Amino acid sequence: MVQDNRFRVRYRLKADSAAEAEKRATGIALEQTVEIPGDIVPEGYISNEIVGQVEDVAAAGPDTYKATISYSPDSAGEEVVQLINVIFGNSSIQQNIRVIDFEPGPEIRKRFSGPRFGIDGVRARTGRVRGGLISPVIKPQGSNVSQLADIARRCVLGGADIIKDDHGLANQRMAPFRERVTAVSEAVGEANAKCGGSACYFVNVTGHSGYPIDEAFQAKEAGAGGVLLMPGLVGFGVVYALSRDKSFDLPIMTHPSFTGPFVLTPETGVDHGLMYGVLQRLAGSDISVFPNVGGRFGFSVEECQSIAKACRDPEGVGKAMMPSPGGGMSVERAGDMVSMYGEDVVYLLGGSLLRAGDKIGEAVSAMRDAVDQLSAT
């Protein structure tokens, strides 16, 4: 193990030769820090500390190399936005470079404390001591406030742990933000009281006023038990700020909207586990939503497992977080899912749940039973 304060990023890149690969790696190290040609980098602090240092370049297949570059925590400061900017900001625009690993090092671990709640904290808030959590999604967009509240109420009575807003619920005229949050929070609270539950309502916060953080606090005041944020659209900085704000103190679920191109092409972007595990956790998310295998999106079993692993990696930054596979869950598939994801997981129950209509509570209850039976064995 290297004993210094730097953080390390591993890239997979294409090159015609080892010499070309070295040159590309050096290019990344400059691009991600000083962004000036190597021969005019000022000596001293900038050259010794700030410029990325290529530590290793090794062949990894035909025309393929893996390069490890170390960076100074001084480049990132205390900001997750700037840290990601250093990891892959401009180099994301070059062909055939993919981020495949990130090692924070001691200083970044100190500065970035990760999730406020993590797995244990989410369990404490929802009262689900063991077994997978169940999170029905209230939708569709276009429903009015009382329709959404009614679905939420039925789902809580059915045994849901988390009621999640559809990520398409923002501040639309059929269900304005404040009205939606107030009505659904009340419905969830009443249903909790009735059944002795502790279900939490996670409000989708898009920042319609331009201030997502203010909007998150509005949600809290209206009774929300958590927030849903889309880092691809609102930025990782919002996740980071809210997770560190003691007066906010609600768990955060992050959603993958508008991040697909980062993972879909193996030659560019960022590995699945990094995008939906490492970066979410680094920013301070407690629950990371991603498209489950077998649903409408083409993620493989291995890709989904790499995400779950990164979310819960004991070596990761701060507390372990909950992976939350969306889609592909049903009573019939519950056995497969539990054996794939284990206990520390939030199962999203999406659009197909609505097929149950007025019996949506019973559908949630059936899922609850299926997961509990499997966890008990």
Binders of its own copies among residues 205 to 264 (CB under 8 A) are: 206-213, 230, 232-238, 240-242, 244-245, 256-264
> In the complex, what is the shortest distance from the CB of residue 376 to its own copies, in angstroms, rounded to a whole number?
32
Distance of closest approach, residue 131 Cβ to its own copies, in angstroms: 26
Q: Which stretch binds its own copies (CB under 8 A): 54-62, 134-142, 181-189, 337-345?
A: 134-142
Which is nearest to 52 in space by CA: 81, 98, 97, 86? Answer: 86
355 makes contact with its own copies (CB under 8 A) = yes
The C-alpha atoms of residue 12 and residue 318 are separated, in whole angstroms, by 26
Among positions 298-317, residues that touch its own copies (CB under 8 A) are 298
Smallest distance from its own copies to CB 320, Å = 24
Torsion of CA 179, 183, 186, 188, to 10 degrees: -120
What distance lies between CA 296 and its chain's CA centroid?
A: 19
In terms of CB distance, is 182 or 192 closer to its own copies? 182
> Between residues 119 and 283, which has the closer beta carbon with respect to its own copies?
283
CA-closest candidate to residue 276, choices 303, 244, 250:
303
Evaluate whether 51 touches 33 at the Cβ level (below 8 Å): yes
Toward its own copies, which CB reaches closer, 17 or 209? 209
User: Is 81 or 100 the residue whose CB approaches its own copies more closely?
Assistant: 81
- Residue (39 or 315) nearer to its own copies, CB: 39
Quote the CA–CA distance of 372 and 132 in Å, as a whole number.
8
- Between the CA of residue 135 and those of 5, 163, 179, 299, 367, what are the distances in Å? 39, 6, 22, 20, 10
When the beta carbons of 164 and 281 are compared against its own copies, the nearer one is 164
- The residue count for binding its own copies (CB under 8 A) is 92
Do 104 and 275 meet the contact criterion of CB atoms below 8 Å apart? no
Does the footprint of its own copies cover residue 367 (CB under 8 A)? no
Tell whether residue 27 is a contact of its own copies (CB under 8 A).
yes
